Amino acid sequence: MTASNGSTVGGIPPEVVAFLSGKGGRSLIIKGGAGTGKTTFGLELLERVGQPNRSYYLSTRIGDEALYRQFPWLKTAEMRSRVLDAAKLFLDAVAPAGSRREPELPESQQRKIRAGREVLGSFGQERGPPTRVDRSHLQALLKRSPMPEVENVYDRIERNLPEKSLLVIDSLEGVTHKYGLEMEEFVMALQKDLVEGSNSEVVMILEKPEAGGIEYLVDGLISIQREELDERRVRHVRLEKLRATNIGQARYAVTLDGGRFSALGTGPRGIPTTTGAWKPFPDPERYYSTGIPDFDTLLGGGFRRGSFNAFEVDVNVGIDDYYMLFMPTFLNFLSQGRGMIAVLAAGESPDKLRDALVRHISPNQFDTRVRIADYTAQETEDPYILPMARYNREEAIKAMVSAEKAVAGPDRKPFMEYTAFDTFESLMGDQVAIRMYFQGVSRTKHVGNLGIGLLKPGLLVSSEILNMMDTYFRIINIDSAPCIYGIRPRTTIYSISADPEKGLPLAVLTPVV
């Protein structure tokens, strides 16, 4: 449904929602090459922004049955009523039953009426809500060629007045080629008759990536492009022009997963804001659940026991973004009585991490089963902090052995090792960091722990470390949307987002297709 405050509606960019929710009518052109998702976007606008019984999709390229096969979600009775197959409309009467129109006025009188409206507008006088569709420009085109399906749409919109209607035309070329019209004159007719004269929203889809000079006629222009990213396909929607609308973000990554259009990065993100005990996901045999069912499926069950898993985080990915992926794993591990030893990355805060986790596990559980090695701290009052800067080499080894016993607990359970290698390399140099890494990998595999390694761009230790990792993923930012894809194993790109029903810290992975 339309959101008056411009918030996200079903994955549609909030700027588009705000644009189509503005006062008066608006016209919008969606352009892009073949296979970019223009039709899917138009149908999504029909459902998410249009109102029942007042939104229509005029298809000139394929029949409605073909649309239902490609987009099964259109088969509901409500959505079926919105899809208008041009081939069927052509067989309908020019004016549907129950529709009455007064005879067309002579052109001279129509000019006088239009001139009078312009004069009133120049005086700053506002007309009341329209009750009839001004067909002046359409009638001029009809003198050259009858267009029954277009007249049918005009009639439907008129019956809805003074309420606004939404019309999606797919495609402009389909109508203009069929009737031998210039695209500019047809767009002008829709703009003057429906948008300006009837306060309607008209979305026009172009079958090509260029608008051919008609951009100035409409209020909004959106383009959809497709590119390759590390041999993986990514679509972008670019907001080129949205009149009288603030464009906070000009480009969004897009997925067409499940035949639905969804702009990525529009939902909540970052540190969990909800409370309540975490309900752990069961661990399959020989695996540790990631706490994200989609990620478990991607990994074939979860992280393999005794494995070390690398996550290379791009420079433009924030901590809150990759915590959406790691937080469920931390919680799922700790909520089952296991512990964690962590070396945090630069910028990560032990206090912030604790505050986020104790929303869903007990503070005592965190304080007794989590140890965070802080190589810059000399003193601490927090039981979960290891002030490594105060120790010499022998004392540091004893402190880590003591920490391992604490996180393993009296029942000697396996524990998680979360290691940010940029911290090791910056404080100890690459050779020492690599030796510590080898020791950690050996311990993880021997004990059956879970190892998660965080890598930042430019680390000297990366090549050595990645050769030993069981899995290797990259976390990137695409148009402000955090995404992940696997190098080992190879996967498509997935967006990382909050669970749409339950919210954070529960997360979902959505294929970017």
pLDDT value at residue 2: 33
Name the residue range of residue 69's domain. 14-96+119-263
pLDDT value at residue 261: 92
473 shares its domain with 427: yes
pTM above 0.75, yes or no: yes
250 shares its domain with 292: no
223 shares its domain with 317: no
pLDDT value at residue 232: 94
292 shares its domain with 373: yes
Query: Beta-carbon neighbour count of residue 358 at 10 Å?
Result: 16
pLDDT value at residue 66: 58
- Let me know if residue 110 belongs to a domain: no
- Let me know if residue 109 belongs to a domain: no
pLDDT value at residue 101: 46
The last residue of a domain, from among 202, 231, 263 = 263
Domain count, the chain: 2
* Measured distance CA(35)–CA(37) in Å, rounded: 6
405 shares its domain with 259: no
pLDDT value at residue 120: 44
CA dihedral over 30, 33, 34, 37, signed as positive or negative: negative
- Let me know if residue 8 belongs to a domain: no
259 shares its domain with 291: no
258 shares its domain with 337: no
- Let me know if residue 282 belongs to a domain: no
CATH number for position 351: 3.40.50.300
**Which residue positions in the chain have pLDDT lower than 70?**
1-10, 61-127, 268-274, 423-442, 446, 459-463
The last residue of a domain, from among 226, 248, 263 = 263
390 shares its domain with 247: no
391 shares its domain with 438: yes
Q: What is the CA 177 to chain-centroid distance, rounded?
A: 35
- Let me know if residue 309 belongs to a domain: yes
139 shares its domain with 241: yes
235 shares its domain with 165: yes
pLDDT value at residue 94: 37
pLDDT value at residue 432: 59
- Let me know if residue 4 belongs to a domain: no
- Let me know if residue 454 belongs to a domain: yes
One DSSP character per residue, 61-118 reads SS-HHHHHHH-GGGGSHHHHTTEEEHHHHHHS-SS-TT---PPPPPHHHHHHHHHHHH
pLDDT value at residue 404: 87
- Let me know if residue 275 belongs to a domain: no
296 shares its domain with 412: yes
3-state secondary structure 47-63: HHCCCCCCEEEEECCCC
The last residue of a domain, from among 231, 263, 295 = 263
Instruction: Give the position of tokens 């004392």.
Output: 395
Query: Beta-carbon neighbour count of residue 368 at 10 Å?
Result: 15
* Measured distance CA(313)–CA(46) in Å, rounded: 37
